[in-house]
Chain A
Amino acid sequence: MKESYSLTLDVKRYDPDTRISWMQTYRIEAGRILRFTDVLRKINKELDPTLAWNSSCEHAQCGSCSVVINGRPMLACELLVENAVTHFGTTTFTIEPITVAPVLRDLMVDLEKAYDRVHRIRPFIIRPAQNPNQGQEYRISPRVMEGYLEATRCINCFCCATACISSHKGFLGPNAVMASLVRIMDPREDATADRLKQLYSEEGVYRCHSSMACSHVCPKEIDVAHFVALVKEGDFR
């Protein structure tokens, strides 16, 4: 374990003005416990203020900073320098944007377009079920909630969708399928049949090839593939 590391970052750049992409190499010193978002910031400060990269919370809650590092989609804010060196066994890292949406500049992609698939599954209660306790909260047993609570932790970082081996155009995607399943299992949602129709349609779960890459890369450690499998099995209440 060292106090700091000399890193080599090969970053995929893109200029929307010239429409040219290229790989640019940055060499920088980084303390062991810095996050990769800290490292990118350090590059802006010391080497290149034009390098564009997205982030917001920088502690794995918002899902803004997803990138592909040495081939693996992840949150840049979650990767500590010393963990990166240990895990990848190198101090050289290739950093590229995620593939789920068009690149705007460098590592920034048009996440709004990626969210289209999530919006299509309607991430809200489409038709509220009858509430026997009008004016109060629905009563929901914690046992029932346990069936889907993990899936509610999804932050739509699109790491799973990036890792997914199915096409982004033809498939709703693992995170969108999971979001719809949450509402299917939620007793407050009445439009279960509508949702299932969508999930069993051309863009639904038949596109999933069970690679389970989604579960493998999820930064929140949600077993996304499990929820997709539940839809395939038709087993959710």
Chain B
Amino acid sequence: MATTTFLSNATVNMTVGAQTYDLSDQCTAATITAGFDNLEITAFGDTAHKFTKGLQNVEVSLTLFNSYGSNEVEAALYDAVNTGTCTLVISPSGTTESATNPEYTITGAMLAQFTPINSTVGELSTQEVTFTGGTWARDIV
């Protein structure tokens, strides 16, 4: 039996302080690269390098439509940059987490810079932002 997958966009929520922004409807691409630092534990006598996991590392990239207005993309990203830390909650489709819709929460992510104006005549105004740092967790229940 075939398995179908709707190719709709990911669900992206960003919380800055007490304010949560739903960026899903303005986001066309979301990429999470999560893992751990690799720490070398090679010892005398080993015949190959050995590593163990260290601190978590994570990077999140979003491609967004530059919408303007209260709680819109430009205002939300300004808030994130200005505050210096935010929480991102991202899942493939919808906020109901499950094995087929894992939800990733990145707490304490930092957005160092953004592009509030990206205007070219006749072209959609978009921007790509990259959040770095923070802790990440996967939730399926």
Question: Are A and B part of the same complex?
Answer: no
